Amino acid sequence: MTSYTTIFLDLDDTLYPKTNGVWDAIRDRIQAYMIEEVGIPAEMAPNIRKEYLEHYGTTLNGLIAHFHIAPQDYLEYVHNIPLASYISPDLALRAMILRLPQKLMIFTNADRGHAERVLALLQIADQIDGIIDILALNLHAKPQPGAYKQAMLLAGEDNPRRCLLVDDRLTNLQPGSELGMTTVLVDLLTPNAASDYCIPTITDLIKAIPDLLLIPSNNKMQGN
């Protein structure tokens, strides 16, 4: 019997390859927002974005702190990209997810609308039990420690040791590890021993942790 009952899955650059151009497009939209909507000089925007990421976890939280922007306006603006040009159905991912008996929760610093579009394009939306986005977290974001506790609460999970946290960024895994979660880094280029597991692609998850296929003690109802 597996010890894992809930799997928290990051969205962008985790459920699809980080080389497919989605993040580049979102990054360009973030900088365009900073320049066109906030009025930050173009030559300053990249460094300010980097500073906000380091100090606030997301550019959004930095812009809220310094410019009092409307979160929903920002999220809609930066995620307004032609996702279908970058993401296509992933049958291997779907096949893997169909085998997992755990509760599957998307845990993302993006918003629900963006997550829903990505999941639909990957053709796995019907297999996901819930989406925990930055708005559901009251603008707390990974890697802020409070985001992980709130995510567990929203997922109905009370034991971090029964949680698997999957992300493409080591900085987003560390707070979960400190809380007691098992961590999986998805990164083809930079394996890191600081995570419990490291896999090149998300579809290697079961290969790395075969015990996931065992029925958890409070297994979710299967409607597939």
Per the CB < 8 A criterion, the answer to whether 155 and 103 are in contact is yes
pLDDT category of residue 205 using cuts at 50, 70 and 90: very high
pLDDT of the residue at 222: 43
pLDDT of the residue at 57: 84
d(CA 78, CA 115): 13
pLDDT category of residue 110 using cuts at 50, 70 and 90: very high
User: Is residue 209's pLDDT more than 90?
Assistant: yes
Its pTM stands at 0.92
Q: How far is CA 24 from CA 13, 30, 109, 114, in A?
A: 11, 10, 16, 15
Quote the strand ranges of the chain, DSSP E.
Answer: 6-9, 103-107, 130-132, 163-167, 182-186, 197-199
Question: Domains in the chain, please, with CATH?
Answer: 6-18+88-213 (3.40.50.1000), 22-78 (1.10.150.450)
